[in-house]
Amino acid sequence: MEQILRSVTMLLVLLNPFLIIVYLIDIVKKKPKDIFRQIMFRASLISSVVFCLFALLGDTIFKSVFNASFASFQIFGGVIFLLTGIQFVFKGSASIESLRGESKYVAGAIAMPIFIGPGTISYSVFIGERLNKLHAVIAIVLAVALCSTIILFLKYLHDKIHQQKEELIEQYIDIAGRVIALLIGTVSIELIMDGLDHWLKIIG
C-alpha cells in the first residue's frame, strides 16, 4: 500500500493540476461545467490507457513496436514541451488554444501533450517496474482521477469568483503561465540533454 501511495503522489505531482489549469484557461472560460466535465473525463480516460500501457509494457513498446530507443522519445518530447513553453512565454495562454487545434479534438489534445508527456510516461514505466501489474494500474488510474477532480474543483472556483475578480484572475493566469513556461522550458532542455546522453551511450 505504501508503494502505491508513493506512486500515486509522485505521478500526481508530475501531472500537476495547478499547472494544467493554467494551460486550459481558455477552455475553462468558454465551456460550461457539464461540457468541461465530459472533456476532462475523455482526456483522463485516454491518458490512463496510455499510462497503463507503458506501465505494463515498459520501454519494450519502443524497441518492439517502433524499433526505437526510449531516448528518442525523450528528445522528441523535450522538443514538443520546449516549443509549447516558448509559445506561452511570448503569447500567453492564447498560444495553447492554437497549439491544440480544432475544438472537436480538444479531449485528445488535452491528453497529449498536456497530460501525456515524457515525464509522466517515464514515471509510468517506472511504476510498472516497481509494482505488480494490478497495483500499477490502480496507482495510475487513481492519480489521474485525483488530478481531474482537482481540475474540476478549480473550474468550479473559477466560475464562482470570475465575475468579481476577473482582472485579478487574468493577471494571475498571465504571470503564473509565463513563469511556469520558463520552468517547462528548462525541464525540456534537461529532457533533451538526457535523451541525447542516453542515445550517445547506445550508439557508442
Residue 107 belongs to domain spanning: 2-203
pLDDT at residue 185, rounded to an integer = 76
Count of domains for the chain: 1
Between residues 179 and 11, which one has the greater pLDDT?
11
Closest CA to 87 of 180, 17, 189, 194: 180
Of 177, 182, 60, 47, nearest to 117 (Cα)? Answer: 47
pLDDT tens figures, 185-202: 777 787 788 778 877 776
Using pLDDT thresholds of 50, 70 and 90, give the confidence band for residue 92: low
Q: What is the C-alpha to C-alpha distance for residues 51 and 124, in angstroms, rounded to an integer?
A: 6
Q: Note the pLDDT of residue 196.
A: 83
Is the distance from CB of 164 to CB of 42 less than 8 angstroms?
no
In terms of Cβ atoms closer than 10 Å to its own Cβ (0-12, 13-18, 19+), residue 124 is buried
Residue 156 has pLDDT above 90, yes or no: no
Q: How many residues can be counted in the chain?
A: 204
> Over the Cα atoms of the chain, what is R_g?
17
The structure's pTM equals: 0.73
